[in-house]
Structure 1
Amino acid sequence: MSKERKAEKIILDTDPGIDDAMAILFAMNCPDIELLAISTVFGNASLQNTTRNALFIKNKFDSTFDVVSGAEKPLKKTPNGPTDHVHGIGGLGIVEASDSHHLPISTPSWEYMADRVRADPNEITLVAIGPLTNLALLVEKSPEVVPLVKKVVIMGGAFGENGHRGNVSPVAEANIHDDPLAADIVFGAEWPVTIIGLDVTHEVLCTDRYLEKIRDSAGPSGEFIYQVTRFYVDFYQQSIGKRACFLHDPTALTFLVSPELFELREGPVRVVTEGCAEGMTIQKIETKPYSYDDWQQRPNQSVAIAVDSQKVLELFSNTVRHE
């Protein structure tokens, strides 16, 4: 970390999850990030399992971040259920999370985030790499905190750039589809949001050889990343025909420390909350008004539309190796 730059204080809202676990390891090892807390949410696994997985990682790597448990279901819709076929029964593939001597903080996630932001206004970034229910609850229950948040970075959504649309439906990405109403609330709040969606994460493909090099050079972190990705790589081999996986959630963390690797586009964002296009994210990029325009009164947000994928891969591997 350069002397001129302070570490980015973050609360990581997540549903670990294989690529979530990789993102946690990146945040723990990155000198430009100060990981204050992990806030858990349903998604890749049940809330019970995502919280257990976060505590397991904290214990395994002797970390000091807080763990706080959040929402166990969407705001309104019927839950989609865990994605066992992608992340395994417990959420970490073939790695079984043992119980930790650590316990989650008893405060609800949204309340914990509100308290931390009030105590350190304009200094804390919220990074959400799962369904956005916890952040939506924060907006609804503590709206006065919203302008005190430094910024929000989201892994989610798909806008059709670079030929990438949905991964759970033809138009919807999984995190947004898990709670589209929550996403629409978060994107409409008066705080600066950057959305790192499939448009760029589907450009960042790490091969099994890449993961082997991390295993062989990054000590306990590398061994953990390799083991936890075994199930993930098997899934993607069936899905895309390659022994590889996309670096979804860690890519959002790399944006925090190297935003110059991304090209952003500005404009308000809406989310389709029901029907066959449920979870679809749509950004208005024209400035002209329309007769029917549900985007017009919404704040501009940033959507990543291009990425230097090779440099993202280098940043991730170098960080977990402490280079």
Structure 2
Amino acid sequence: MNPLPVILDVDTGIDDAWALVYALRSPALNVIGITTGFGNADVASTTRNTLLLTQLLDTPVPVYRGADRPLWRTWSGPVIRYHGHNGLGDAILPPVHHTAQRQEAVPFIVDAVHQAPGQVTIITLARLTNLARALLFDSTMVELIKGVVMMGGSAFVPGNVTPVAEANVWGDPEAADIVFKSGLDITMVGLDVTMQARLYREHLARLNPTLSYAQLLQQATTFYISAYEQDNPDIVGWCPIHDPLAVAVVEDPDLVTVERLPVQVETRGQHTDGMTVVDGRTRHYSNGIQVALSLNRDRFLQRLGERVGIS
């Protein structure tokens, strides 16, 4: 079977770094390009971090710089608490020699799906700003994109930046609203399943030390786990590893169970801004978003270990 062509849209912080390693080392995926944006850090930092990962992995996959702010809102700033000042847990970073493409993210996305109609899956691990901007630029893309698998949202569990909102949707609700209403075939890999994707300190200890990226992932993820422990008394010795799960679902859809449900994004609520409002009253809805609701955790961790190098 030929590898599936995918575009990764990232705001490379710590869990994005794991997702990049997973995707770029997967024989089942052909990463044709990586687009960056604001979120866990500013776009200059997320672009640098992405280029660093491609450099450590010695891959020529092109990187395209994207959005530096939400569509119409003021950006609230980087997530220093969880990703540090540099987006990678304040780990010491080596010099980066890879450079981003001159073309920016939106024209790359538009060109890529037109060149391979019906073939490209877009994996979004960040705010949905780049994809929304591409759709605003060229609405015909909807018929050309094979599908979108997004890390974001929550259906029947609490949010992680507010009681009801998940970070990637909350960070640009209008962009998410545009994408959700576009008619694209979307799979929402949200907090219902990513909070079950637990990476423990023991996994870090078993990461193959000869791998070029091992030390970076260990340092960054140690920071990430500590941040989760400090803010969440029920979390001890682990962190949810959100973004790699979305990549893994593209490779192996049976990792999660999904239901197609009506989902709307709240863009005006005083207490619910950025919420993904999922109507669970009618199950197995014929239209709507494919919402991931449960995870085969052991199978996911096995795949993560195989791709990233955990013994």
Q: TM-score if structure 2 supplies the norm length?
A: 0.94
* Partner residue, 1:103: 99
- Distance in 2, Cα, partners of 1:20 & 1:171: 23
Residue 299 of structure 1: how far off its partner (Å): 5.1
Deviates more, 1:12-21 or 1:253-262: 253-262
- Distance in 2, Cα, partners of 1:287 & 1:176: 23
Which among 221, 242, 247 is matched to residue 253 of structure 1?
247
- Distance in 2, Cα, partners of 1:118 & 1:79: 31
Residue 287 of structure 1: how far off its partner (Å): 5.4
Let me know the Cα RMSD of the aligned residues: 1.9
Matches within 5 A, 1:103-252: 103-160=99-156, 164-216=157-209, 219-241=211-233, 242-252=236-246
Residue 244 of structure 1: how far off its partner (Å): 1.1
Contact conserved, 1:193 with 1:301, CA < 8 A, in 2?
A: yes
- Distance in 2, Cα, partners of 1:252 & 1:279: 20
- Distance in 2, Cα, partners of 1:183 & 1:206: 28
- Distance in 1, Cα, partners of 2:281 & 2:99: 48
Contact conserved, 1:88 with 1:94, CA < 8 A, in 2?
A: yes
Q: How far does the alpha carbon of each residue in 1:276-296 deviate from its partner, in whole angstroms, 9 at most, with x for none?
A: 2111001234559xxxxxxx9
- Distance in 1, Cα, partners of 2:310 & 2:65: 29
Which among 6, 13, 18 is matched to residue 14 of structure 2?
18
- Distance in 2, Cα, partners of 1:321 & 1:215: 6
Which among 46, 52, 61 is matched to residue 48 of structure 2?
52
Which consecutive residues of structure 2, in runs of 5 or more, have no partner in the other structure? none
Residue 302 of structure 1: how far off its partner (Å): 0.4
* Partner residue, 1:276: 271
Equivalent residue pairs, number: 307
The DSSP-based 3-state class of the residue aligned with 1:91 is: coil
Contact conserved, 1:40 with 1:67, CA < 8 A, in 2?
A: yes
Q: How far does the alpha carbon of each residue in 1:83-132 deviate from its partner, in whole angstroms, 9 at most, with x for none?
A: 00100001011324444222211222111100011111111110000000
**1:262 paired to 2:256:** yes
Q: TM-score if structure 1 supplies the norm length?
A: 0.90
Contact conserved, 1:194 with 1:303, CA < 8 A, in 2?
A: yes
**1:301 paired to 2:289:** yes
Contact conserved, 2:18 with 2:308, CA < 8 A, in 1?
A: no
> Once superposed, which parts of structure 1, at least 4 consecutive aligned residues long, lie more than 4 Å away?
285-288
Q: How far does the alpha carbon of each residue in 1:141-175 deviate from its partner, in whole angstroms, 9 at most, with x for none?
A: 11111210111000000112xxx211000000111
Which among 279, 303, 307 is matched to residue 315 of structure 1?
303
Residue 239 of structure 1: how far off its partner (Å): 2.2
- Distance in 2, Cα, partners of 1:256 & 1:309: 16
- Distance in 2, Cα, partners of 1:88 & 1:215: 24
Matches within 5 A, 1:1-80: 5-80=1-76
- Distance in 2, Cα, partners of 1:305 & 1:16: 25
Contact conserved, 1:189 with 1:299, CA < 8 A, in 2?
A: no
Deviates more, 1:100-109 or 1:70-79: 100-109
Deviates more, 1:76-85 or 1:10-19: 76-85
The DSSP-based 3-state class of the residue aligned with 1:52 is: helix
